[in-house]
Structure 1
Amino acid sequence: MSIKSIAAKIFARKIYKQTLRWTEKPVETQYKVFESLIENAQDTEFGKDHHFNQIKTFKDFQKQIPVRDYEDLKPYVEKVVKGEADILWKGKPLYFAKTSGTTSGAKFIPLTKESMPYHIEAARNAILHYINETGKADFVDGKMIFLQGSPILTEKYGIKFGRLSGIVAHFVPKYLQKNRMPSWETNCIDDWETKVDAIVDETIKEDMSVISGIPSWVQMYFERLQQKSGGKKISEIFKNFNLFIYGGVNYEPYRAKFEQMIGKKVDSIELFPASEGFFAYQDSQKEKGMLLLLNSGIFYEFIKADEFFSENPKVYTIGEVQVGVNYVLIISTNAGLWRYNIGDTIQFTSLAPYRVIVSGRIKHYISAFGEHVIANEVENAMKEAVNSTNIVINEFTVAPQINPENGLPYHEWLIEFEKEPENMEAFAEMIDNSMRKQNIYYDDLITGNVLRKVVITKVSKNGFQDYMKSQGKLGGQNKIPRLSNDRNIADNLK
């Protein structure tokens, strides 16, 4: 065991104990964050507009500030982008993370000197919790790859602009610099396919121990590695690869394909990062869900997803939530986002400590007939069907078919198979049965002959990659929505 791995274990124990201190006082921790946010933003333009000096309680806060999305906050953001100070948060942000908005075009999310450290610490602490629980630390001596966007930044009015993953690349700690792959030059390549090929060339002969990224793009990296190596399993190429770190999408639909490509099972750590904040990470290999970070400069509120679009939905704070309920996540942060709807829905798997899973997007659902189907349900259905067969999938998405040429409407599952089922009809039946068990509204529609059962459409090899490329969203932090209430993606794929 190296000195580095021994030091990692000692540090991991220290961080674990620090985490325990705030997880044992969740409500008190959140209240302290709330007080700090209000106090620090009183003299900002937003704080004055919303009378922060009069806010004493959560109810005051909720009364004076409406829940907002990016469009609602945009007038304030535009002032900050133009270089004005003390608008949403004191001073100016250090960075703007540029993201792709579904309705707003490009979105610019501020990152401040107060918020930026939490992005770095959360990613680090996820690994340290893994080390503390499992005792495995040898991987710190191997090479680590983080598939991410270009770290090239632009600057305007003293604020730097770039993709979140590219911004984070500037904060890799010195003790990881020698282990980190790919090289800075390769990381700066903008074209994703060219970049992946360069990464393959740089890493194929290295001792890779940790690989991190969005599963769909890591899959592309693995496929290129196999092509370059003449079809070898990833575990043959990287004999010490034993830890996969991911975020952005649910890993389960990809797990079977990954294990086939890797040639063995490897441990994994799930992260819940976003430009708006680093919200949670998997703190245990034994428990379901990710630890919600209550002490990271973010105050959380929750609205039940099925009440979200009503006129005055009830808002819950951390001490009022329940396990298994689908909530829309509302955040206020030390980067100047106030009662901001990030669009994600979550469910709590535990209240002691507070652990969550990401269940989908409030705008990504299917309810063409009142069925209220969410991403978590279709992912569970696919996982059950895959686990009951010997098939392997690369990617999938689901859309309603409201006006079919023949017969009743249906949900169309567009799937890119690596290995097809021997009986497609039986496979579709498994998916449909799982959906009916999970979603009573969907079951009622099938029973009442409003909908017919799931219809599966095969997508050609690399069909999803080709679609993303056609949209200018190949690689980086981009990902295919698991489901949608229209046919824009489905019709493009077909």
Structure 2
Amino acid sequence: MGIKAALSKPFAAYVHQRNQAWMQQPVQTQQKVFTSLIQKGTSTAFGRDHGFKDIRNHSDFTQAVPIRDYEGLKPYFEKVKKGEPNVLWPGKPIYFAKTSGTTSGTKYIPITADSISNHINGARNALLAYVHQTGKSAFLDGKLIFLSGSPELDEVSGIKTGRLSGIANHHVPAYLRRNQLPSYQTNCIDDWEEKLEAIITETLHQPMTLISGIPPWVQMYFDRITTKTGKKIKDVFPDFSLFVYGGVNFEPYRAKLFESIGKPVDSIELFPASEGFFAYQDEQEDPGLLLLLNSGIFYEFIPVNEYYNEKPRRLQIEEVEVGENYALVISSNAGLWAYSIGDTVKFTSTSPYKVVVSGRIKHFISAFGEHVISEEVEKAMRQTMQLFPEVEVIEFTVAPFVSQSAGQSYHEWLVAFGQPPQDEMAFRQELDQQLRQLNVYYDDLITGNILAPLKLTPLLPDAFQQYMKSQGKLGGQNKVPRLSNDRIIADALLELKVKS
């Protein structure tokens, strides 16, 4: 056992013990975070505008500070971008995390000196939790790859600006940097396909032990290696033992990814975003992600069916229930106040508090009042694939087709198959039935002849890669929405369907 692997175990035990302290007092921990945030925010422009000096409790806060998304807080973000201090948080941010928005264009999310540790320690502690729980630490002595965006940073009003993954790259601990691949020069390549080839060249003959990234881009990396070598990943990287991922639901990718690897490997799911690092999987046998309650973020939870109400309930941590679907709202030491991040979560446990990411509040189909969400289409696909074991799905998305003729509208599933079903009609019928069982409103629309059963449109295996490339979003942290309430993406993908 190498020195890094050996030293990680006592450090992991220390971090585990510290986590237990706040996990055993979750409500008090969140209250301390709330109080600290309000005290710090009182001296800011936002705090003065919203009467922070008179806020004593959460009820006062909900009266004074409405829920907003990026567009709602944009006037404040613009002031921060111009270099004004003390706007949302004391002083100025040390970074802007730049991310793409659908309605707001490019978004600039502040990261402050107080909030940077949330991002860095969250990822670190996820690995240490794995070491503590499993006793496995040998991966720390091998080579580690993080498929991420460029670490090159620009400046906006003197504030360093770049993709979150690129910013995080500058904070990889020194003791891991010598193990890290790809090289800085390769990581800075903008073109994803050129970058991928360079990554393969650098890693192909290295003792890779940990591979991390968004599943569809890791799959692309694996596919290129297999094409180049004719081997399974286990034979190219025999020491590969840990896969770390986040950003999308892993289940639709799991079967193909592990088939590419050729052996079981442990995995850790993370819940990171430009706005904060919220949760990580701390137990291998439990898919729930430990919600980080002590990390400078105060959480509120809105029942999804109330999200668009004029005054939805804003629940605190002690008020949530297992199995309910909530929109996640945060206030943080990055200067985000009652900020709706757009993700929805379900609690799997309240002792400790653990969540799974169930979808995006804006990613749904309700063209006919059915309100189908990401979790439902992913579960329908997963359960259907279990009945058709020959099927491999690379990627898919769902969109409505609205017809002017009664009973002729439908949901269109655009699917890139690695291996298509032997009986496409039976697969389609089962997929439709699974969704009907998961969503009663969709079932009612089918029964009432308002909607026709779903249409299945097979796409070329690399259709989504071609689409993302055409949008300038190939690789990195970019991903295609699982479903949309319009046909913008669907109509573009139809150009890439399999010719019958």
TM-score normalised by length of structure 1: 0.98
Q: Deviations over 1:349-397 (max 9, x none)?
A: 1111111111111110011111111101111111111222221111000
1:444–1:405 Cα change, 3 Å? closer
Read off the aligned partner of 1:367 and give its amino acid letter.
S
Q: Which residue of 1 aligns with 2:80?
A: 80
The answer to whether 1:347 aligns with 2:346 is yes
Q: Deviations over 1:316-349 (max 9, x none)?
A: 1100011111111110010000000111111111
Matches within 5 A, 1:4-23: 4-23=4-23
Read off the aligned partner of 1:19 and give its amino acid letter.
N
TM-score normalised by length of structure 2: 0.97
Q: Which residue of 1 aligns with 2:374?
A: 375
* C-alpha deviation, 1:2, in angstroms: 2.6
Distance in 1, matches of 2:450 and 2:406, equals 14
* C-alpha deviation, 1:157, in angstroms: 3.0
Q: Deviations over 1:124-157 (max 9, x none)?
A: 1111111111111111111000000000111243
Q: Which residue of 1 aligns with 2:293?
A: 294
* C-alpha deviation, 1:405, in angstroms: 8.1
Q: Which residue of 2 aligns with 1:248?
A: 247
Q: Which residue of 2 aligns with 1:3?
A: 3
Could you tell me which runs of 5 or more consecutive residues in structure 2 were left unpaired when the two chains were aligned.
Answer: 495-500
Distance in 1, matches of 2:433 and 2:281, equals 30
SS at match of 2:110: strand
Distance in 1, matches of 2:139 and 2:38, equals 42
The root-mean-square deviation of aligned C-alpha atoms, in Å, is: 1.2
1:405–1:259 Cα change, 3 Å? farther
Q: Which residue of 2 aligns with 1:266?
A: 265
Identity of matched residues, %: 59
* C-alpha deviation, 1:458, in angstroms: 0.4
Read off the aligned partner of 1:339 and give its amino acid letter.
A
Q: Which residue of 2 aligns with 1:137?
A: 137
Distance in 2, matches of 1:47 and 1:124, equals 32
Q: Which residue of 1 aligns with 2:498?
A: none
Q: Which range moves more in the overlay, 385-394 or 248-257? A: 385-394
The answer to whether 1:49 aligns with 2:86 is no
* C-alpha deviation, 1:472, in angstroms: 1.1
Read off the aligned partner of 2:315 and give its amino acid letter.
Y
Distance in 2, matches of 1:157 and 1:424, equals 55
Q: Which residue of 2 aligns with 1:152?
A: 152
Distance in 2, matches of 1:424 and 1:404, equals 27
Read off the aligned partner of 2:304 and give its amino acid letter.
A
Q: Which range moves more in the overlay, 463-472 or 1-10? A: 1-10
* C-alpha deviation, 1:7, in angstroms: 1.3
Whether the 8 Å CA contact 2:326–2:344 is kept in 1: the answer is yes
Distance in 2, matches of 1:240 and 1:393, equals 27
Distance in 2, matches of 1:134 and 1:447, equals 50
* C-alpha deviation, 1:454, in angstroms: 2.0
Distance in 2, matches of 1:225 and 1:306, equals 45
Q: Which range moves more in the overlay, 381-390 or 215-224? A: 381-390
Q: Deviations over 1:154-202 (max 9, x none)?
A: 1243310111000000000011011100001001111111101100000
Q: Which residue of 1 aligns with 2:497?
A: none
Q: Deviations over 1:466-493 (max 9, x none)?
A: 1111111111111010001111111100
Read off the aligned partner of 2:256 and give its amino acid letter.
K
Q: Which range moves more in the overlay, 387-396 or 99-108? A: 387-396
Read off the aligned partner of 1:327 and give its amino acid letter.
Y
Poorly superposed stretches of 4+, deviation over 3 Å: 404-407
SS at match of 2:264: coil
Read off the aligned partner of 1:164 and give its amino acid letter.
L
Distance in 2, matches of 1:441 and 1:158, equals 51
Distance in 2, matches of 1:279 and 1:164, equals 14
Could you tell me which runs of 5 or more consecutive residues in structure 1 were left unpaired when the two chains were aligned.
Answer: none
Read off the aligned partner of 2:227 and give its amino acid letter.
Q
